[in-house]
Amino acid sequence: MLDRMKRLLASPRFPWMAAALAVLLFLPALNVGFMMDDYVQRVTNERGIQIVPRPSWDLFRFVGPDRAEFALSRDRGEVPWWAPPTYKLAFFRPLSGLWAWVDYRCFPDDARLMHAENILLFAAMALLAGLLYRRLLPETWVAGLAALLFAWDDAHSFVVVWISNRNAILAGVFGLLTLWLHDRAHRDGARVAAIFAPFALALGLLAGEAAVATLGYLAAYALFLDDRAPRERLRSMAPFAFVTLAWAVIYKVRGYGTSGSGFYVDPGGEPGTFVFAVVKRLPILLLGQFGLPPADLWPQTVEPRVLPLVVVTALLAGLALIFARVIRKDRTCQFFATGMLLSLVPVCATWPNDRLLLFSGFGAFGLIATFLSRAYAVEKPGPRFSARTVAGVMILVHVVLAPLLLPLRVWAVGTMLHEYVVAGERTLPIVVGATLVVVNAPDPLVPGMAGAKRYYEEINGKPLTLRLRQLTVVATGDEIVERIDDHTLSLSASEGIFHDPFSQVFRSPSMLFHKGDIASVAGMRAEIMDAGEDGIPRRIQFHFDAPLDDPTTVWVTWVHQGFVPFKLPAPGEKVTVPGANFLEALTGQKP
């Protein structure tokens, strides 16, 4: 039986078979529909709603460096009032933006076709991974095993099921194509491959910033697989360095990058913060890559605690020691391990999540497949026990559980995030020519996404107004709303306001709130009346130019799994608003 499985894994057709299997396991994604940013992209492409007109391919420039654009974004409510004046969120992804523009022009309402594109694109990446494993690993059945593990890794569920995240898959396809061409140029002397490899990297970078991870594998290749003189190795890396430098210059000159956000860190603009983020996030991503729990679970706390990080780091150190005992002196494994680690460094610029493990998965599964092929051949009593124990865990997680969890995670994640926005849209009032004020919500994104869905699907010619005001995000405990006068509300929460990870999308936790801070947007002024030593507001006062009872203002708040009308208290009186927990809003289960 085992010999038959090895022959199947060693078949030259097996990379194609693994890619086909990935397609089958991802089929549940076809019924998921749109979710999250997909609705915003639909509106942007179909309705042409843009603060500042820009090319169709520039879909991922949310807030550019133009401060007038930023002010307009805050006035319309696309960026909440608490975003700092330096806030910027702009990604250079022209290939991905152009592809999305074509989709929304040709079949804007057919999410199935867009999901099918993502699935086939990932299948292409899985195929390239399988072909590369066959070139790099000496035993073809081990290469087949690595291809299989990569193709059905359940960590890839989120990145494939999310239409707007196609940029990462496209960057992954071009990244692995770059490695395949580079290896052909080195091993086979293929001059055409040497010419086209830098072009493949350029296309990857134009697809998305994730392609920077390719450089980690190219550096690892030069260190461990390239047997030429050091000068020749450097010369072979020069075209890739030139392409990356040109891309970085364009990125910088055109004003792309992030600023003022805690969810995203700009490595070039905030090097110290980025290094600290790598120290915190790299162990979490590595643990998610090798086993459980998924990295997705960590963003539910604002900051990872020291003790869990120490435990995770100790587990990873022990795992590295056991792997090293089995596959030491194997230069191919050194390539996989180094490439995996270096590929994870760039993605530490954002919150840990399994969707960030596409590139690292290539190195990880080359490493794991080799380890599994040798773990049971270890002869020394101590290392033999530890190696076989770890191998058993790896088999359980990546061979037994992964193909079972993949379609389940595709369906569960896709359905929850789709229904979350649908519930928000379904419970929003129809607002025409008015301002929608959201007193509280589970996160700062769902009001805008739900509004985008309502705006796109409104068919009576009276679209939802784009003027949105979200006052607070209070996830735990209760919020007290006091009406000071006809124009002023005071909102307070004993456990803090914006004490949730998603509020950091719009403001870095290093930018502390202080008593007396004031932020003004069109028609409203917010003043921090009380803030703790941690810089988290406890009470905020909102003054509106128009009376609170003005008929052009519609008030709602989030309760359990949807928006409900909010009845303003009488002057001098207070009402209690329950906290809007994100997990409860997403799953319907109270924490």
How far are the Cα atoms of 44, 60, 75, 171, 565 from residue 450, in angstroms, in the given order?
14, 19, 18, 29, 15
Tell me the pLDDT band of 524, cut-offs 50, 70 and 90. Answer: very high
CA-to-CA separations, 512 to 122, 203, 204, 373, 408, in angstroms, rounded: 41, 39, 37, 52, 40
Q: Are 489 and 241 in contact (CB under 8 A)?
A: no
What confidence tier does 389 reach under pLDDT thresholds 50, 70, 90?
confident
- Please write the tens of the pLDDT for every residue from 36-75: 888 888 877 765 555 556 777 888 888 888 888 888 888 8
Average pLDDT over residues 328-343: 92
Residue 152 in contact with residue 21, Cβ under 8 Å?
A: yes
Confidence (pLDDT) at 53: 66
**Distance from C-alpha of 233 to C-alpha of 236, rounded to nearest angstrom:** 5
Q: Please spell the DSSP secondary structure of 2-21, one letter per residue.
A: HHHHHHHHHSTTHHHHHHHH
- Of 92-96, 114-118, 172-176, 501-505, least confident by mean pLDDT is 501-505
Question: Could you report the per-residue pLDDT of 77-120, keeping only the tens digit for each?
Answer: 888 999 999 999 999 999 999 999 899 888 888 999 999 999 99
Only one residue has tokens 């913060």, namely: 273
User: How does DSSP classify residue 302?
Assistant: S
Residue range 413-429: average pLDDT? 86
The amino acid that residue 467 corresponds to is R
In sequence order, the 6+-apart residues with CB closer than 8 A to the CB of 290 are 316, 319, 364, 368, 394, 397
**CA–CA dist 417, 36 (Å, integer):** 7
Q: Which amino acid is at 322?
A: I
Per DSSP, 238 falls in state H
477 pLDDT higher than 60: yes
**pLDDT at 313 (0 to 100):** 80
Query: How big is the chain by its Cα radius of gyration, in Å?
Result: 25
Q: Does residue 464 have a pLDDT over 70?
A: no
Enter the pTM of the model. 0.92
In the chain, the amino acid numbered 482 is E
Tokens representing 278? 């790598």
The pLDDT of residue 302 is: 45
Contacts for 535 with CB less than 8 Å, ≥ 6 apart? 509, 511, 512, 513, 514
Give the largest CA-CA distance in the chain. Answer: 81
Rounded distance, CA 235 to CA 383, Å? Answer: 41
If you write DSSP's letter for every residue of 373-426 in order, what string do you get?
HHHTT--SHHHHHHHHHHHHHHIIIIIIIHHHHHHHHHHHHHHHHHHHHHHHHH
pLDDT at 405: 93
What CA–CA distances, in Å, run from 247 to 104, 342, 565? Answer: 27, 19, 48
Residue 307's Cβ-count burial label (10 Å; 0-12, 13-18, 19+) is exposed
237-286 confidence digits (pLDDT tens): 999 999 999 999 999 999 899 998 888 888 888 888 889 889 888 988 99
Q: What would the DSSP string read from start to end of 179-215? A: HHHHHHHHHS--HHHHHHHHHHHHHHHHH-GGGGGHH
Amino acid 549 reads D
Amino acid at 488: T
For the cut 50, the answer to whether the pLDDT of residue 149 exceeds it is yes
pLDDT greater at residue 269 or residue 364: 364
Which residue from 353, 395, 412 is spatially nearest to 155, judged by alpha carbons?
353
pLDDT digits (tens, 9 = 90+) for 198-239: 999 999 999 999 999 999 999 999 999 998 898 999 999 999
Break the chain into its structural domains and give their ranges: 16-49+91-417, 428-587
pLDDT for 312 beyond 70: yes
- Which has the closest alpha carbon to 67: 91, 81, 86, 92? 86
pLDDT above 90 covers a percentage of the chain that reads 48
| Token pair belonging to 322 | 């056991």
Does the pLDDT of residue 459 top 50, yes or no?
no
Nearest-5° Cα angle at 418, 440 to 171: 110
C-alpha to C-alpha distance for 471 and 498, rounded to whole angstroms: 10
Q: Is the link from the previous residue into 293 a cis peptide, with omega within 30 of 0?
A: yes
Torsions phi, psi for 214 (to 5 deg):
-55, -35
Cα-based distances in Å from 437 to 256, 457, 492, 569: 31, 21, 17, 15
Distance CA 153, CA 357 (A): 10
Three-state DSSP class for 298? helix
Residue 259: DSSP 8-state: E
* Sequence letter at residue 48: G
Whole-angstrom CA distances from 419 to 22, 36, 296 are 25, 10, 19
